[in-house]
Amino acid sequence: MSDHINIKKVDFTATFETLGTLLFWTLGPIFITYLAGQIDSYTQNFLRYLTACLFLIPFLIFSIRKNNFDKRIWLKALFPAAANLTMQSLYAAGFYYISPGFLILILKLSIIWTALFSLIFFSDEKPLAKSKRFWFGMILSIVGVFGVTYFKQDFAETKTITGICLAIGAGLAFAIYAISARIAFKRTDSLQAFTVTSIYTTIGLAVLTFSLGNIKQSASLNTWQWVCVVISGITGIAFGHPLYYAAMRRIGATIPSLILLAQPFTVLAMSYFIFKESMNVPQLLSGVVLLGGSAIAIWAQQHLKK
C-alpha cells in the first residue's frame, strides 16, 4: 500500500497563504511588544493601521476604476469594523501588561468563542451542539486556559490579571469580528472587504489616539522604530489578514485554523530569544491542552460539515 502524499490534491497556493499568515502573525506581537516601551497602545495601533491602510488603498482605487467594486461593502463593513476596532484596541493594550507568547496562547480561546457564536447564527452548524467531540474540546480548552494562567508565577499581580482580561476580551471581540465578517462579506472580494474595514478601523483608532493617547510620542521614534512600525503594519495587517481570508476561501477554515494553532509556540520561540520570555512546565502542558482542545473543536466542526 502506498502512503505517499498525492501532490495533485495539495493546494500549494493556499498552503503558502496560510504559512505566510502564520509568519506575519508571529512577527506582529514581537513588534508590538518592542514598540510598547516607546509609545502608548492607542498611538501604536493608529500608526500601524494607518500604514496598512495607505498600503491597501491603491488596490481599492484600482478596483473602483475597473468597475470591479461592490459599493455595498461600505455599509456591510460597518459592524465588522466596529468589532475589529474593539479587538485591536484590547489586543494591542494586552502586550503592555503580559508577554507576547502568553497573550497569544490565551487569545486562542477565540476559537471556542467563534464556534459558540456559529451555533447561534448559522443553522447548518446548530447540530454541533449535539457533538460530544465539540464539547469535550471546549472543556479541554477552558481547562488549558485556567492552567496557563493559574501556574503563571505572577498570576495574582494586578498587571498580570489586567493583561489576561484584555486578552480574553480581545479573543471575544475577534470571534464577533470573524462571525460578522463571515456574514457581511459572503461572496465578497476579501481584499476589498478588508481594505474598507481597515479604513473604518483606522478612523476609529485616530479618534481614540487623539482623545486618549499621546500622538506626540511618535516624534521620539528613531529611524529603526519607524521601520518597525511600517513593517509590522504591512506584514501583520495588510498582508496577514487578506492572506488568511484568501486561504479560507480556497480550502475552507479548518486547515488554516489548525495550522495557526502553532502561532503561540512560534511567538514564544521568538520572544524567548528577543525578550527572554519563558513558561514553566505546567504552563506549557496546559498550553498543549488548550490548543489540543481547540483542535478537537475544529475537528468536530469539520466532521459535522462532512
Burial class, 127, CB count within 10 angstroms (exposed 0-12 / middle 13-18 / buried 19+): exposed
Tracing cell 511567538 back to the chain, one arrives at 267
Per-residue pLDDT tens digits for 284-305 = 898 888 888 888 877 776 666 5
> Of 234, 224, 236, which is closest to residue 27 (Cα–Cα)?
236
- Residue 191: how many CB atoms within 10 A of its CB? 18
Per-residue pLDDT tens digits for 206-263 = 999 999 999 999 999 999 999 999 999 999 999 988 888 778 777 666 677 777 888 8
- DSSP letters spanning the chain: ------GGG--HHHHHHHHHHHHHHHHHHHHHHHHTTTS-HHHHHHHHHHHHHHHHHHHHHHHHHTT---TTHHHHTHHHHHHHHHHHHHHHHHTTTS-HHHHHHHHTTHHHHHHHHHHHH-GGGGGGGG-HHHHHHHHHHHHHHHHHHHTSTTTTSHHHHHHHHHHHHHHHHHHHHHHHHHHHTTTS-HHHHHHHHHHHHHHHHHHHHHHHS-GGGGGG--HHHHHHHHHHIIIIIIIHHHHHHHHHHHH-SHHHHHHGGGHHHHHHHHHHHHH-----HHHHHHHHHHHHHHHHHHHHHHHHH-
pTM summary value: 0.85
Q: Where is pLDDT greater, at 68 or 250?
A: 68
Q: Where is pLDDT greater, at 125 or 292?
A: 292
CA–CA dist 260, 232 (Å, integer): 18
Per-domain residue ranges of the chain: 7-305
Say if residue 8's pLDDT is above 60: no
**Average pLDDT of the chain?**
85
Per-residue pLDDT tens digits for 23-52 = 999 999 999 999 998 999 999 999 999 999
